[in-house]
Structure 1
Amino acid sequence: MTSPLPGGPVTGDGKHLRILSTSDLAGLDISLDQVVATVEGAYRTLHAGRSDNPRKLTVKPPDGHSVAYAMLGRDGSREVVAIKTSYKHGVDRGRDDQHYYTALTIYDDVTGLPVAMMDCSRIGSLRTPAVSALLARECAAPAARTALVVGTGTQGRLALPFLLTTLPRLDRLMLFGTHPDGVAAVRARLAEHFPDRDVDIVTDWRAAAGDADVVIATAGPRTPAAIEAAHLKPGALSILVGHGLAPSALGAADRVVATSEAQMNITGTDMADADGNLRPVDAELAPVIAGTAAGRRSPEERVFAYNSGLVVTDIALGHHFAQLAIAQGLGTEVALWR
């Protein structure tokens, strides 16, 4: 039996678990600047050695019809421990035929009590484009003015608003997408956050890539786009989130930055060369943000960045949302350990 919570402490009594649903989290207000600052703080704490972000675990069947991940981490600034699970079924099918579930469970490492278990979809939809925006801030050429987003799914819809948050100097925005509803959603989200800006819808992704200073590839596996290194101009930054970049964009890059080289070696195998090898990473994002490593070394370098996401960023945002939700009395308490 469950009962709505009227509010209360951040942690419970050790017998109950607070569940925060999709609808509980949907109405919580957070600005793009707050998301970027929260995610950046998680990277800085990780670089300082105060947080732990072990490599994710992955399982999938031989035919590849599904994939599941488990990610455990500890946030040293908030002193919380959390585990994120992610499961997608129908990877080999179209978007409408897929099932995707992701959840985050947080524990207070001071009191030893549970904080909450929550749907992680909104957290992921904010965290990932915020990380891409940080990669762009650190790795784009100083004169970057044009950006191209490939894909109009969950990760593509906020890519441009977050990119403008960290790179306000961009004056031309382009989008390649094959789903009309997705294109409309991208435009709507851009208008919501930057009503004075618009995006050019392009059909020739090769030509658009050649014009772009920053390319963010967020598309699904069925995208026709496969941007090669030869399509990218000198000084371009290409950021891989989903699909849309060919392996040569990595293999021929002058510099490679990743959120995590270990995770790239697990989830980035589709970017391997003809011999099955992945180009080594030159720097990870945490030390780049901290200023101990360079995102790029010259304006002419072609930089490839791999955005796989780190669970410490999910924990930071998830804990922030949990605090907001609890303060508003949201959630349902389940007597899980009785």
Structure 2
Amino acid sequence: MDRDDTTLRVLSTSDLAGLDISLADVVDTVEQAYRTLAAGRSDNPRKLSVKPDDGHSVSYAMLGRDGVRNVVAIKTSYKHGLHESRENQHYYTTLTIYDDVTGLPVAMMDCSRIGSLRTPAVSALLARECASPAAKTALVIGTGTQGRLALPFLLTTLPQLDRLLLSGTHPDGMAAVRAELARHYPDRDVEVVTDLAPAAREADVVVATAGAHTPAAVEAGWLRPGATAILVGHGLAPSTLHDADRVIATSEAQMRVTGTDMADADGDLPAVDVELPVVISGATKARTAPDQRIFAYNSGLVVTDIALGHRFAQLAAEQKLGTEVALWC
């Protein structure tokens, strides 16, 4: 990445779409970011957020440093039209990375593909660490951006899964889930379920990725002993959190900011037993008994975006993708 300090490599959505990266590479990159954070070599301050009183939009800013890659980055996210249907919302997210050894800029990029890969990779790591050793059946709720890659990533970390269930309402989304599964695991298929309660009772791992307007809400009483319920978007009732035997989160502080819809009648959330980076480090285990029902909260940590974004920037530089912008001259 030979550039001076007046230029910045800008990577567009189409630039990043053409980069080929394996699911295993994504999982390894995200896992390394957690290990580095747990070792105290990275910094991940709490995100800043702004939301108007009427709730029509929300914006976030997240700054972090990766101590293995020696880069500093800031991620911004802005979503407009929260009361509208998904197709009528506007969402923009960017990541800007600087080399903390040379002091030079690395790249600025659209962060949407990074998020679409990072989030299901984190769910897959949560499933790997939290699932019962006997886990065989996975249920994914939702067919949006996160739902479409949930099953391929789950199979990457839990190859022993032999039954894959899908709960969704949008035909195009369900077709996209099938297409992604076929692309990564052509020998596997998914069963579409229309009755959520019995499907949840059969699942060892439930990953809820649905949008805010979903009617789906798995109750704690539907979960079998030893089940793991992972919340990414929506699709789990608050009882799955409050009645859980163990609560795991990527970050307890983040959960208390973004997980308020799971609060009880008094507005309270239960304490988190352990955070995922500590589990990934090997210092402790997420599951301590086979029959525990575990609730896991997947919220983004910017260090994972930074690690994956830097990986994309490396691949893009090798392929000479992107546009050099003379931003500071």
TM superposition score normalised by structure 1:
0.96
Contact map agreement 1:175 1:201 (CA 8 A) in 2: yes
Question: Which position in structure 2 is the counterpart of 1:22?
Answer: 13
Question: Which position in structure 2 is the counterpart of 1:304?
Answer: 295
> How many Å separate the matches in 2 of 1:145 and 1:299?
14
SS at 1:300 equivalent: coil
Query: What letter corresponds to residue 101 of structure 2 in structure 1?
Result: V
Question: Which position in structure 2 is the counterpart of 1:322?
Answer: 313
Q: Is 2:185 the counterpart of 1:200?
A: no
Question: Which position in structure 2 is the counterpart of 1:85?
Answer: 76
SS at 2:79 equivalent: strand
Question: Which position in structure 1 is the counterpart of 2:95?
Answer: 104
> How many Å separate the matches in 2 of 1:275 and 1:288?
30
Cα shift at 1:212: 0.5
Query: What letter corresponds to residue 58 of structure 2 in structure 1?
Result: V
Contact map agreement 1:255 1:296 (CA 8 A) in 2: yes
Q: Which residue, 162, 166, 169 being the options, matches 1:171?
A: 162
Question: Which position in structure 2 is the counterpart of 1:3?
Answer: none
Q: Which residue, 51, 59, 80 being the options, matches 1:60?
A: 51
Q: Which residue, 27, 35, 38 being the options, matches 1:36?
A: 27
SS at 2:194 equivalent: coil
> How many Å separate the matches in 2 of 1:120 and 1:23?
12
Question: Which position in structure 1 is the counterpart of 2:177?
Answer: 186
Cα shift at 1:11: 5.2
TM superposition score normalised by structure 2:
0.99
SS at 1:297 equivalent: coil
Q: Is 2:216 the counterpart of 1:225?
A: yes
Cα shift at 1:12: 2.4
Moved over 6 A (4+): none
Matches within 5 A, 1:134-153: 134-153=125-144
Contact map agreement 1:11 1:108 (CA 8 A) in 2: no
Q: Which residue, 311, 324, 335 being the options, matches 2:326?
A: 335
Contact map agreement 1:11 1:113 (CA 8 A) in 2: no
Contact map agreement 1:145 1:171 (CA 8 A) in 2: yes
Q: How many residues align?
A: 329
> How many Å separate the matches in 2 of 1:60 and 1:266?
12
SS at 2:214 equivalent: coil
Question: Which position in structure 1 is the counterpart of 2:39?
Answer: 48
Query: What letter corresponds to residue 316 of structure 1 in structure 2?
Result: A
Query: What letter corresponds to residue 312 of structure 2 in structure 1?
Result: F
Question: Which position in structure 2 is the counterpart of 1:113?
Answer: 104
SS at 1:265 equivalent: helix
Question: Which position in structure 2 is the counterpart of 1:4?
Answer: none
Cα shift at 1:334: 1.4
CA RMSD, 1 decimal: 0.7
Q: Deviations over 1:75-111 (max 9, x none)?
A: 0000000000011111111111011110000000001
- Where do 5+ consecutive residues of structure 2 fail to align? none
